[in-house]
Structure 1
Amino acid sequence: MESLFVLKGQLQRFYAKYSKIVDKTVQFVLALVTFYMINRDIGFMKELTNPVITLGLAVVCTFLPSAVTVLAAAVMILLHMFSVSMGMAVVTAVVFLIMFIFYIRFTPKKAIIILLVPVAFMLKIPYTVPMAFGLLGTPAYVIPITCGTFVYYMIDYVKTAAPTLATAEDASAVSQVTAQVTTYAKQVFRSKEMWVVIAAFAICLLVTYTVRRMSIDHSWKIALLVGALLNILIIGGGDMILDVGASYLELIGGNVAAIVIGLVLEFLFFSVDYSRSESMQFEDDEYYYYVKAVPKIVVAAPEKTVKRINKRENVSETEIIDTDEIRRKASVQSAKKHQSKKRQETKNGGKTGNMDHLLLTQSLRKEFDLDK
């Protein structure tokens, strides 16, 4: 377990150092997956399903704000719908326009959640979204999750009704478009399954958010379990009462996947040691305060000590020694040292003799008053 916390610390340091690169990489992958899923699930306009267009559009959106990715996905959905039914494209465009006017332009950074919901539905893990944002977000995330659920069910209805619309013929083009708009609006906005899912997601997010903020041990794990049970109970109850046609296998499997992903999020963002928690109480002039302090789990990365051992190789060599040459060199060096010493003594002796003579002369002159 300690190695996992060390790995977590390394990931945090890596992200702190390369955060811009990581953010842009995630944005590129999300845009690429979104465009691919739209082309795969709708794909009525064959020109847009070209992989080169999908990849190029994802690259362009990577270097632009995340709200541009949402707008690009909305335009792609509208073009696919327009190739099948003008009435569907009109209703979808109105819905997208309302989302943009009342939500996206005020919170452009949260608009990316609208894309996450349809992608999660297409990957069969939609219950992950409300539980994840219940752990990491606030109740305000109910709005983008609801909008994303609307988008998914509009796409799902178009995918189901497209063959019927393509073969339908009517005497008047205007009446045909009117009939398509009416049918499409009724099918989407009166979908019992969609409203049950929206209610389940909203309640799950709010309850998960409330429980994980409670001052109890293992609040995140309890919030995950409660959120998963609420999803199963609400959607399962809606199926029994309203006959929405829910798949129980996907319902249970999706919530299990949501719990696993939630545990990963807890490990990354809320690693605490409840065994060392402390409760404190203090007061001021107006209030009494009851505080519970739970320390975070922090594991220092082990320091690596590198020892370098240089192996010395024993090299044996055979050398022929000329003794006469060595003696000759030694005698020459000895003679040079002797001569140098003699010259130094002679020099020092000369200086000493001159000094003695000078002192004797001065003494005699002083004694016999010769200076006068």
Structure 2
Amino acid sequence: MNKLLEIKDKAIKFYGEYEHFIFPAIKFVVALMAFITIDLNIGYMTKISSIPVALLLALVCALLPVNAIIWISSVMILLDMYSLSIEVAAITLVLFAVIYFIYFRFAPKDGMLAILTPICFQLKIPYVIPVAAGLLRQAYSVMAVICGTLLYYFLDGIKLNASALAEVVDKKGGSTTKLNVTMGQLLENREMFIVMAVFVLTTLVVYMVRRLNIRNSWTIATIAGVLIQLVSLLVLYLALGLTGKTIWLIIGSAISMLIGFAIRFIFMNLDYARTENVQFEDDEYYYYVKAVPKKMIATEEKVVKHFGNTGSLGKKIPRHNQENISKKSIAKELEVDEDIFKDNN
């Protein structure tokens, strides 16, 4: 445990010293993952769906605020949807307007959550997001999780029905059919609504439990959140006949548990054995405070011992002749007795 604490302290210190370089690198990696995910799944416009373009845009995002990743990703998605169908692009634009209203109204500082949610869905581990959001963010951050989940299921539905949307281009009433297929991805997707409801419940439960005045609240919150997701989604997947997702649900829940414990270790690793109850007062109130210290590595204090006249510390001795320095001049500068330089032999 002490070794882990030492590694954590060093990592925190390293991040504090090089934050101006590390955070842009993180934004670059997240943006690159987002753009590559878009290109691999809905890259209908070949001119922008390439690795060099993704690298260039990710580099730009590394120098801009986090929300720039959302805006650039939205433009790329709209261009891909326009290449597929103008009707699909119009519905996507309306959907983005709704998502942006929700996001910028309630959770404008949770851009990373909104971006990472579709990415984690693509990696088949979206169950990590509600647990992490409940531990690290506020209750309103659930809106960013909702926006990311909604976006993923909509784009996934478009991907699955891309051939059907392309085939009705020349048929009579083709636009109406496209609108029906596109809107069906939102209004008839029972799995999407179920997953969103479970994610909202998980995020809020984790958030409320980790704020309780109990020991190991973050650990209890993580376990509670993971169990809620696992049991709820397992039952609902079986009810909908989505048996192929149960394996990834179990794997994702295990990963969520590990990440939750890692977050607790980094941000809320407390030593409850040394808990202190403090009481003090001012002119108007009495205060009862419970102080729980963090687990930290005890640093050794270096003690420097000084011998002789310490008043001379830090003084500079002028050396007019480097090869022949008078003992008398040294004694005068150090304000000590000249006799201490005499040879006792």
Tell me whether the two structures share a fold, i.e. TM-score over 0.5: yes
Matches within 5 A, 1:203-214: 203-214=201-212
Alignment correspondent of 1:95: 95
User: Residue 247 of structure 1: SS of its match in structure 2?
Assistant: helix
Alignment correspondent of 2:117: 117
Q: 2:262 aligns with which of 264, 278, 283?
A: 264
2:189 is aligned with 1:194? no
Alignment correspondent of 2:237: 239
Alignment correspondent of 1:148: 148
Between 1:252-261 and 1:240-249, the stretch displaced more is: 240-249
Alignment correspondent of 1:226: 224
Which residue type is aligned with residue 208 of structure 2? T
Q: Give the deviation of 1:206 after TM superposition.
A: 0.6
User: Residue 292 of structure 1: SS of its match in structure 2?
Assistant: strand
Which digits, 9 at most, give the CA deviation of each residue in 1:88-129, with x for residues without a partner? 211111111222244337754323321110001011110111
Q: Give the TM-score of the pair, scaled to structure 1.
A: 0.75
Alignment correspondent of 1:43: 43
Task: Flag the structure with larger Rg.
Answer: 1
Count of residue correspondences: 303
Tell whether the 8 Å contact from 1:66 to 1:108 is kept in structure 2 after alignment.
no
Runs of 4+ residues over 6 Å off in structure 1: 282-288
Structure 2 residue runs without a partner (length 5+): 303-345
**Residues 65 and 285 (structure 1), Cα distance of their counterparts in 2 relative to 1, 3 Å cut:** closer
Tell whether the 8 Å contact from 1:236 to 1:246 is kept in structure 2 after alignment.
no
Matches within 5 A, 1:1-372: 1-104=1-104, 107-172=107-172, 175-243=173-241, 247-280=245-278, 290-300=288-298
Q: Give the deviation of 1:169 after TM superposition.
A: 4.3
Distance 1:242 1:290 in 2: 52
Q: Give the deviation of 1:178 after TM superposition.
A: 2.6
Greater share of residues in helix: 1
Q: Give the deviation of 1:183 after TM superposition.
A: 2.2
Tell whether the 8 Å contact from 1:193 to 1:244 is kept in structure 2 after alignment.
no
Q: Give the TM-score of the pair, scaled to structure 2.
A: 0.81
**Residues 229 and 136 (structure 1), Cα distance of their counterparts in 2 relative to 1, 3 Å cut:** same
Tell whether the 8 Å contact from 1:81 to 1:89 is kept in structure 2 after alignment.
yes
Tell whether the 8 Å contact from 1:84 to 1:166 is kept in structure 2 after alignment.
yes
Q: Give the deviation of 1:154 after TM superposition.
A: 0.9
Tell whether the 8 Å contact from 2:107 to 2:143 is kept in structure 1 after alignment.
no
Distance 1:238 1:283 in 2: 53
Q: What is the root-mean-square deviation of aligned Cα atoms in Å?
A: 2.5
Structure 1 residue runs without a partner (length 5+): 305-372
